[in-house]
Every structure is written in C-alpha cells, then in structure tokens.
C-alpha cells in the first residue's frame, strides 16, 4: 500500500503544470486546445513530446474561448505535443511569461504635473518666465507588434508662466505672465524595451496639437494665439496590477517650435490608471 501511494505521489508531481496541447500544426502555426488553462497573447511556451523532451518554442498570438493560435519561434512542433511554460530568471526581459496584459489594446486616464518655461519678447526686450500647472488626459493605446504601440491622447492642457525683467509689459509693469489653457490632441509612438512579469518600460516620441480655449497674458498678443503644435519625447513605465488593469507612469519633455515672439518648453510627470480590453 505504501509503495502504491508513493508511486501515485511521484506520478502526480511529475505531471506538467499545463494540460494544453497542440491539436493541429501547419506551416509553423498551431491550434491549441487550452484544456482549461489560462493563456494570454505574447506568452511563450515549450512544445513537449510524449517523452518529455522540448521540441519547439511557441508563442501565443490569439486566444478565443477554449482555443488559441500559436506560432513556432524555434524548433519543430507536431500535433499532440503538450505546452510547458518557460522558466524565467529574475530580471529577464523577453523570455518566459509575458507581462500581464501586454500587447492588449487599452484605454486610460492620467493627471500631469507641468513645469513650464517660456521666453517672450517685444519691442522693449525679452523676459524669461517659469511656472507650474496641472493637466488631465485620456488615451487609447493599441499595439502594432510585440514591442511597438501607438498611444493617442486628448484632454485639458495648460501653460502658466510668470517672470520679470528689463522689459515693459502691455499693462505698464515689468511683471509679465501668460495663463493659457488648451484642448490638446496628439499621439505617441512607443517602443517597449524592457519587460518583467509586472512592468513594461518604454520610450516614445510624437506630436501634439493645442487648440486655445482660455488665454490671458500681458506679454503675448492673445489675438494671435489660436493653435499650437508641439513635439514630444517620452519615457514611461506601465505597472501591471493584473491582466486587465495597470498604472501608467510617464515623463514628457515637450517643446513648442519657436516663433517671432516666444519659445516655450514643458516637463511633465504623469500618472493614472489604465484598463486592458
């Protein structure tokens, strides 16, 4: 009896953690029967034969109900092979289980702390101004491939600065200011350069378009402030809480193309909440 029990324990512990198997293989693509296992797009697994030997490296490309589509990354897969999850080493960026929720479309909201700088000039001279403000953006994000994604955004953006110098403002003082608010629209192209089981680091660049809503200034000609274009460089981290939601952190450096009367730039720290779907 003890021998039988020991044998059963050994057999139970030697069974693979995943029961999913390949039911059809053709031209490097395979149909996977999930057998109740949970998969997500981007995950990589070994295809294992009946003797337990790893024959191929597979990546999940599509999941629908109890079925999935996988492609062969390396090796040769055959129908009947089971799937075994890859083992990750700490700090691995590309192998093993993908980031929870990675490569899924998502949307979210962010709030930003804005540090603005502007140099303005008129016939009397020029003045350097600085200031802080806040903005709120909503965004939609979609992946073009495993590492490249596009984040389109829109919302309320601001530029508030003040300063004094050897210049006379339009109200006769030397204390100049500009308080501007915009409806902002734009897009970033992002490249995800490092992943762990919960974090996705990325860098990106893009363009923004600002449509003036409220404008007040004693140094700028507000009648000429209607739209602005910005160039944006970004560095960010998406911290995944689960397969369905994450916290986006983002640093933006934004500059406004120079014109005859002013030049400006902004540094923005953003954080928010995102939902995968």
Mind listing the pLDDT tens digit for each residue in 79-105? 988 888 775 443 444 433 445 556 789
pLDDT computed for residue 26 by the predictor: 86
The closest alpha carbon to 227, from 246, 242, 213, 240, belongs to 213
Residue 212: exposure state from Cβ atoms within 10 A (0-12, 13-18, ≥19) = middle
Report the pLDDT averaged over residues 43-61: 87
Strand-pairing partners, residue 54, are 48
Percentage of residues of the chain with pLDDT beyond 90: 49
How much is the average pLDDT of 30-45? 80
Mean pLDDT of 240-258: 92
The 3 state secondary structure assigned to the chain is CHHHHHHHHHHHHHCCCCCCEEEEEECCEEEEECCCCCCCCCCEEEEECCCCCEEEEEEEEEEECCEEEEEEEEECCCCCCEEEECCCCCCCCCCCCCCCCCCCCEEEEEEEEEEEEEEEEECCEEEEEEEEEEEEEEEEEEECCCCEEEEEEEEEEEEEEEEECCCCCCCCCCEEEEEEEEEEEEEEEEEEEEECCCEEEEEEEEEEEEEEEEEEECCCCHHHCCEEEEEEEEEEEEEECCCCEEEEEEEEEEEECCCCCEEEEEEEEEEEEEEEC
Sorting pLDDT into bands at 50, 70 and 90, what band is 107? very high
Instruction: Note the pLDDT of residue 43.
Output: 83
CATH code given to domain 2-85:
2.40.10
- Spatial CB neighbours of 12, under 8 Å, sequence gap ≥ 6: none
Summary mean pLDDT of the chain: 85
- The pLDDT, as a whole number, for residue 195 is 86
Give the per-residue pLDDT at 66.
81
Question: What pTM was computed for the model?
Answer: 0.65
What is the average pLDDT across 172-184?
Answer: 95
Q: Among the CATH numbers 2.40.160.20, 3.30.465.10, 3.30.1330.60, 1.10.10.60, which is that of 106-276?
A: 2.40.160.20
Q: Quickly state the pLDDT bin for 36 (edges 50, 70, 90).
A: low
Mean pLDDT of 213-224: 93
Over residues 111-123, the mean pLDDT reads: 94
Ranked by mean pLDDT, which of 1-5, 22-26, 28-32, 187-191 comes out on top?
187-191
- Please give the pLDDT value at position 269: 98
Confidence (pLDDT) at 99: 53
Q: If you search the block for the tokens 């003082």, which residue do you land on?
A: 173
Report the candidate in 190, 186, 100, 110 with the shortest Cα–Cα distance to residue 145. 190
Q: What is d(CA 241, CA 267) in angstroms, rounded to the nearest whole number? A: 27
Residue 266 has pLDDT above 80, yes or no: yes
Give the residue extent of every domain in the chain: 2-85, 106-276
- Are 60 and 45 contacting, i.e. CB atoms less than 8 angstroms apart? yes
Bridge partner residues of 194 (DSSP): 201
Model confidence at 209, pLDDT cuts 50, 70, 90, reads very high
- Token pair for residue 260? 């005859």
Average pLDDT over residues 119-137: 92
- Supply angle C-alpha 198, 202, 208, rounded to 5: 130
Question: When comparing pLDDT for 189 and 85, which is higher?
Answer: 189
Extract the tokens encoding 196.
Answer: 């762990």
Rounded to an integer, the average pLDDT of 107-126 is 93
């Amino acid at each position: 009896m003890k021998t039988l029990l020991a044998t059963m324990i050994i057999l139970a512990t030697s069974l693979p953690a995943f029961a999913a198997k390949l039911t059809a293989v053709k031209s490097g693509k395979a149909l996977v029967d999930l057998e109740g296992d949970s998969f997500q797009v981007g995950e990589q697994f070994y295809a294992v034969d009946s003797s337990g030997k790893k024959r191929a490296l597979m990546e999940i490309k599509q999941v629908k109900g109890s079925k999935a589509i996988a492609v062969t990354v390396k090796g040769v897969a055959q129908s009947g092979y089971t799937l075994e999850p890859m083992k990750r080493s700490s700090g691995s960026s590309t192998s093993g289980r993908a980031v929870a929720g990675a490569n899924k479309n998502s949307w979210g909201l962010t709030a930003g702390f804005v540090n603005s700088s502007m140099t303005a000039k008129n016939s009397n001279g020029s003045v350097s101004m600085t200031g802080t403000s806040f903005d709120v953006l909503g965004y939609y994000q979609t992946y073009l491939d495993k590492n490249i994604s596009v984040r389109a955004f829109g919302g309320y953006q601001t530029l508030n600065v003040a300063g004094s110098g050897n210049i006379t403002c339009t109200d006769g003082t030397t204390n100049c200011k500009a308080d501007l608010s915009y409806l902002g629209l734009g897009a970033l192209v992002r490249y995800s350069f490092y992943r762990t089981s919960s974090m996705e680091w990325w860098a990106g660049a893009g363009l923004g378009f600002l449509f003036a809503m409220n404008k007040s200034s004693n140094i700028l000609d507000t009648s000429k402030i209607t739209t602005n274009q910005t160039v944006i460089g970004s560095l960010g981290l998406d911290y995944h809480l689960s397969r369905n939601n994450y916290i986006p952190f983002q640093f933006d450096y934004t500059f406004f193309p120079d014109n005859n009367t002013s030049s400006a730039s902004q540094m923005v720290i953003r954080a928010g909440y995102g939902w995968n779907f």
